[in-house]
Structure 1
């Protein structure tokens, strides 16, 4: 019995050379030139000077040497720090959840998928832009003058800022859902509120929940900054320790913040994984 003849090796065809459009090359070169010019202008405008950084390393070393090792005394450093971390967590939690009703209202009015009135749409988008443009620190300063120092001002500040940020994200998520179920309900004579409740929101609910968890992570970190302006929490203790030149206590509070942020991030990741299809 004769052996089977080996199959011929496949023939390699030459790869055609890609023709480059001169206009594409010119456009790419122009974009790179503009980006380079912007970075040069930004470098000059930001007064970047690596020489000053090299000359100031003594101050950084002295600062770190005064902060290490951290002050781990239970009373009052660690004990007060744990209480302040809990307050920081409550500020971030309430600042996220209390903004959800306002976020739903403004995102529904500010989405083309749920609102066909152009005037109302633009008004809702304007409110969201304003709440998003004003920093949460500015809101905190305003509310501190109204309700005094403490975490209540921080919660109110986060509610305002989070409504603007999350409202925009929710409105865009609503506009990306499949319009089929909403069209079917519209043909059946459903009202706009029924379209939102039974077609739009259920379709993008996992994405909305994911955005809420993401904003919770952001707001817990933001509440730390709000504490620097008198809104309570661990940020207030960090600011106080800096003013008293107790950098060892400051490092202790920063380590506590690190643990808090990592814990919230892990918890959010677990919840998002559970909600993933």
Structure 2
């Protein structure tokens, strides 16, 4: 009989058995998460009953805000403020590129010249990332006064911390083959970074930069609430003057701005991904 005609016997796959220790660890983790959420619930005074009972206040607020005031007296300054918000986000992103790239090279293991430099760069990035951009804005407002400039400075400081860390991780995740070949040939760290690492990760760096631009435009809106200019300042002013119809107009303009920036950055990231 030919071996090709022999019947194939399928053996049953034994069921996977869970170890008692693994099950116990899972239950402990679930119980710990439950306890943490209960503590957080009580610490933040979460009460859906209070939310339901406050429907009348929300209804009055919406009644005063709808319909929005779309007169040019309100819409003109709103569009101008939205443009300033966009410029704050743009400058806060692009002006942070040199410092972000320099710190990323110092905070990546393959390009850091020494261990203490690596740790120092990581520490500086952690500090810049830990301090909220709103805090930076308040500091710079006291230094240079109200307006868009402190917002730009605040975004630069915070964005250097975030983008430097993201870029450093991108450099560390790059294919080590070309860098190893150059290192074997006697190339220095800067030569390895310039000719091996950066060319490989440039599309990813550009994609992260566009993502941060999207985030920074949103952040610049919040910075306007503390006096850093832009349409956020107009929203805060409308709330203080109880002009809720004007506030709704500004919010609608912000919505259009955010959607446009999000679509544009997503399109460019997609093009970069396709090119790479």
Give the TM bin, normalised by the shorter chain.
Answer: over 0.9
Instruction: Point out 4+ residue stretches in structure 1 off by more than 3 angstroms.
Output: 9-15
Q: Is the 8 Å Cα contact of residues 65 and 244 (structure 2) preserved in structure 1?
A: yes
The one of 175, 178, 184 equivalent to 2:181 is 184
1:84-131 Cα shifts (integer Å, max 9, x gaps):
111000000000000000000111101112114111111111110110
Q: Report the Cα distance in structure 1 between the residues aligned to 2:197 and 2:111, rounded to whole angstroms.
A: 8
Q: Is the 8 Å Cα contact of residues 113 and 189 (structure 2) preserved in structure 1?
A: no
Aligned to 2:268: 271
Q: Report the Cα distance in structure 2 between the residues aligned to 1:18 and 1:178, rounded to whole angstroms.
A: 36
Q: Which sections of structure 1, spanning at least 5 residues, go unmatched?
A: 1-6
> How far does residue 11 in structure 1 lie from its aligned partner after superposition?
7.6
Matched, 1:196 2:188: no
Matched, 1:24 2:30: no
Aligned to 1:262: 259
1:11-60 Cα shifts (integer Å, max 9, x gaps):
87544222121111111111100000100111011111222112111111
The one of 124, 144, 147 equivalent to 2:144 is 147
**With structure 1 as the length reference, what TM-score do the two structures score?**
0.94
The one of 75, 85, 90 equivalent to 1:88 is 85
Residues matched between the structures, number: 270
For the residue of structure 2 that corresponds to 1:231, the secondary structure is coil
Q: Which sections of structure 2, spanning at least 5 residues, go unmatched?
A: none
Q: Report the Cα distance in structure 1 between the residues aligned to 2:71 and 2:16, rounded to whole angstroms.
A: 69
For the residue of structure 2 that corresponds to 1:16, the secondary structure is coil
Q: Report the Cα distance in structure 2 between the residues aligned to 1:14 and 1:62, rounded to whole angstroms.
A: 67
Q: Report the Cα distance in structure 2 between the residues aligned to 1:77 and 1:50, rounded to whole angstroms.
A: 36
Q: Report the Cα distance in structure 2 between the residues aligned to 1:259 and 1:12, rounded to whole angstroms.
A: 61
1:156-205 Cα shifts (integer Å, max 9, x gaps):
00000000000111111110011111111112222221111111111111
Q: Report the Cα distance in structure 2 between the residues aligned to 1:15 and 1:77, rounded to whole angstroms.
A: 71
For the residue of structure 2 that corresponds to 1:228, the secondary structure is helix
